[in-house]
Structure 1
């Protein structure tokens, strides 16, 4: 027989009213009492009928997803996944708002976060850009007890509820291992292209990549990172200029977006001799992988990330547990041979 709120109250030694306050995040309950109720819930395995509870009190979850605007194919795919969830979320009283901000613009992101009314927002998922004003804006939401998860790119030293995305240091290390294996004994330089060093995912990918190259492949030299702001035109120009200026580039690691420009620059060469590793399987990178312009793609599942962010936010609001491992976003590697 399933445990009830009466069982929880008895196990915790509190009233039904106190259990109700804890379950609904209402004030007036001491921290020690909250801990006792939560321990009773865990011990009994109590699972709340959230649909019935929300319907009874006409509660709706109101979530905001704050993401970069622009031509970044992965971000547009992420937005499409949010839209898909939004279309199917009305039945469980979930409202989702998408807020678009200029990429890599800390003040604009902070202004968007500060524009969120904590009284009308249940939780926030944000693709973070590192800047003091963004840190302060996230701290404001947390002070008002709004759950916050960082999505795709984390913001270190900010007390958010969770980070939802791949381990980007591991992703960079993986790219370096693939690069080293593909190049074998060839020596030379590796061109690195990022969107911006103001986003943690690109910083961590660079860190992981350089760790492995420097420790295990000393015959390869990592060139200074080119920041092209995920702009395909800038990426194309930087790659073309770099390959014209140097004849020792044997590898290219694209850590961000703008890969259409990378592909265009390489397609214009009489002979492509570089090993190329990029991130995110999009229409452009899929075709480039199929025709050999790109050698490997490191990918993350945007749909999994969106659904995971929602599950985590709801769990924080409802004080329910999550399934271990369900929210782990895994690094996926695509080669020409495993394209479906």
Structure 2
């Protein structure tokens, strides 16, 4: 079907292109009767503006800033690399996307970075935001300065952020609880299964929500499961390795382990060095080269994952829609929760034999 254009509207209303443009953009100087004729023509024809074409004609540039944690977290590295790759692709669509490293565990630093952003140099921000009052206030102030903010991966719903791009983390935690229950229930009759929990920090909303969702499932469906208090590894592999070793030593009868954040290489190494790989049911998050190899070896029982490419593309679309005052297509921007077992792992593109061998070595813990 041929697209209805502004020329068709002008012809239908019996006015000039300039008049239609003034009416559509709400500019003064048009009689009320003429406005009514143009609006009636728009309704009859079902005309919708081509925002992309209009912005090209106006040479509109979308200046977007993505604030993504640096460090050894492999998922955040994937997220940052996706943002850098997509920045190159959308440059031809008049989108200038800048990626800036932040420390997700330093709320003061993140708030300070947000405070330095101004509408004169930035049109929209996507941020992996720590759940602190200081960061919430910084998001609120940035929004008041006319810069829309999208939270990425971890939400900050109490803030004035315009949209959240990421999975439902409560649901992800519930999925982990179900998986642990399915793997463990009935395996050892009369045994009260003890479940260990590791988080980067419960101060990160996504980790706290995953923990809460998992505990909900235990209370509803597996009341015999005994949750062990959460250990916080700050998504650091060496720190997570040490606390996992201590956890296993303190609870030699542990049945399951759920890591709600990064630091997976530390958990993998601790389980494999202690001889408990495969005996302790380990549920982890995010598909990385290291978690893939551990899943294939049987150290990880199942992976809960999200698509970093989809999240970056979604954040770009959402910010552009907010800047243009256009509606957000909710179904398109919904981020799915993936569950991977060894049988349904996606193909590993471009991996050499040397790289695969390096990924399989659990003694290397520097990247999660």
Common fold, TM-score beyond 0.5? yes
- Per the alignment, residue 164 of structure 1 pairs with 165
Q: CA separation in 2, counterparts of 1:148 and 1:58?
A: 23
Q: CA separation in 2, counterparts of 1:279 and 1:43?
A: 51
Q: CA separation in 2, counterparts of 1:38 and 1:130?
A: 45
Q: CA separation in 2, counterparts of 1:39 and 1:321?
A: 22
Q: 1:260 to 1:52 in 2, by over 3 A?
A: same
Instruction: Give the deviation of 1:106 after TM superposition.
Output: 0.5
Alpha-carbon deviations, 1:131-184, whole Å to 9, x = none? Answer: 122111111121122111110000021122111000000000000000001002
For the 8 Å contact 1:99–1:112, the answer to whether it is kept is no
Counterpart secondary structure, 1:298: strand
Q: For 1:1-340, list aligned pairs within 5 A.
A: 2-5=3-6, 7=9, 16-21=21-26, 45-185=46-186, 186=188, 187-272=192-277, 273-340=279-346
Instruction: Give the deviation of 1:188 after TM superposition.
Output: 2.3
Q: CA separation in 2, counterparts of 1:97 and 1:221?
A: 45
Q: CA separation in 1, counterparts of 2:147 and 2:223?
A: 48
Gaps of 5+ in 1: 28-36
Q: CA separation in 2, counterparts of 1:87 and 1:143?
A: 30
Q: 1:307 to 1:39 in 2, by over 3 A?
A: farther
Q: CA separation in 1, counterparts of 2:39 and 2:240?
A: 52
Aligned residue pairs: how many?
A: 324
Counterpart secondary structure, 2:229: coil
Counterpart secondary structure, 1:326: helix
For the 8 Å contact 1:70–1:103, the answer to whether it is kept is no
For the 8 Å contact 1:192–1:226, the answer to whether it is kept is yes
Alpha-carbon deviations, 1:5-57, whole Å to 9, x = none? Answer: 584997xxx974252258xxxx9xxxxxxxxx999979864333334322322
Counterpart secondary structure, 1:210: helix
Q: TM-score, normalised by structure 2?
A: 0.82
For the pair shown, the structure with the greater C-alpha radius of gyration is 2
Counterpart secondary structure, 1:223: strand
Q: CA separation in 1, counterparts of 2:110 and 2:266?
A: 26
| C-alpha RMSD over aligned residues | 2.4
Show structure 1 runs of 4+ deviating over 3 A. 1-10, 37-47, 321-324
Instruction: Give the deviation of 1:271 after TM superposition.
Output: 3.9
- 219-228 or 69-78, which deviates more: 219-228
Q: 1:111 to 1:271 in 2, by over 3 A?
A: closer
Counterpart secondary structure, 2:255: strand
Q: 1:315 to 1:150 in 2, by over 3 A?
A: same
For the 8 Å contact 1:5–1:19, the answer to whether it is kept is no
Q: CA separation in 1, counterparts of 2:106 and 2:43?
A: 42
